[in-house]
Amino acid sequence: MRIVVLAGGIGGARFLRGLKQAVPDADITVIGNTADDIHLFGLKVCPDLDTVMYTLGGGINEEQGWGRTDETFHLKEELAAYGVGPEWFGLGDRDFATHIVRTQMLSAGYPLSAVTEALCDRWKPGVRLLPMSDDRVETHVAVTLPDSGSAAGSGERKAIHFQEYWVRLRASVPAEAVVPVGAEQAKPAPGVLEAIAEADVVLFPPSNPVVSIGTILAVPGIREAIADAGVPVVGLSPIVGDAPVRGMADKVLAAVGVESTAAAVAEHYGSGLLDGWLVDTVDAGSVERVEAAGIRCRAVPLMMTDVDAAAQMAREALALAEEVRG
């Protein structure tokens, strides 16, 4: 079975680990979000690709869900001693090596897709990991910073990098707009459209519908390829009991005018894209609303407490795919 999965960071990576356990013989292609990518200290950092690669390759910091296990922060401390930041983004020594190799290869002219393949040679994630695009796409968030009452510029509206919104501000101010800068001009990375065309099923894990899956779908050609593939497309709700399972998805959902409920996220994707949708058992009451929108819906446990739980979610998603296939 050929499965294509659109993935953001932690939610996508943990779901993929379950999917691999559920169907060890499946041929899995992951289309990873790269709009969270950021240039820091002259290096290109790809948080979502790395989170998938480290999680499936056994190198992830399990508690955080991002970054490396057994990490140290000497380099960051040395940079801070020179007054070189940002101090709010936690890059560890082991993780730095990945960004150095990636940046060297990019500087030598390799596209991000080839660099990702080279990095995966080491980590052997057991899936084919493709960036959504080799072109630069960067999510910016429009915010009005709180009026500090002092300096000029306080209370100003500005666009900031997604990581600054997510990590430095911890989404503490409303996201007024979320813009995947560069998406309109971006092309799908080599292999992306081919993988979709050859897939037996496409899955949307419980990743952020706006800044993860939303940005992948914003790359021209990807949404159309999925809608036209003629295979079941099944998603899993990242919202359980009207709140995000992890992260702050509700903040960015508000920016695109979508309420933070499992049913509203399904409607946001729409029946033109989605054939099946899994909600958590606590949201069983929303099954009818989703089905009224033309999307087959089932309520099953959606908390990825461990790999077995994630594997069971993957089995449910594949069972729903078979059901809609008819």
Binding-site positions read 50
Closest approach, Cβ 229 to ligand FO1, in A, equals 25
Closest approach, Cβ 197 to ligand FO1, in A, equals 27
> d(Cα 153, Cα 105) in Å, to the nearest integer?
39
Closest approach, Cβ 39 to ligand FO1, in A, equals 13
CB of 167 or CB of 273, closer to ligand FO1: 167
Is 133:180 a contact under the CB 8 Å cutoff? no
Closest approach, Cβ 12 to ligand FO1, in A, equals 8
CB of 2 or CB of 94, closer to ligand FO1: 94
> d(Cα 65, Cα 245) in Å, to the nearest integer?
13
Q: Can you give the length of the chain in residues?
A: 326
Is 191:29 a contact under the CB 8 Å cutoff? yes
Residue nearest to ligand FO1 (CB): 9
Nearest to 302 by CA among 220, 212, 230, 239: 239
CB of 95 or CB of 267, closer to ligand FO1: 95
- Helices 47-57 and 112-123 pack at an angle, to 10 degrees, of 20
What Å distances lie between residue 214 and 7, 211, 218, 287, 294, CA to CA? 10, 6, 6, 22, 20
CB of 137 or CB of 225, closer to ligand FO1: 137
CB of 8 or CB of 232, closer to ligand FO1: 8
Closest approach, Cβ 38 to ligand FO1, in A, equals 8
Which residues are near ligand FO1 by CB under 6 A? 8-9, 36, 45, 47-48, 50-51, 66-67, 89-91, 95, 163, 166-167
Tell me how crowded residue 158 is: count the other CB atoms within 10 A of its CB: 11
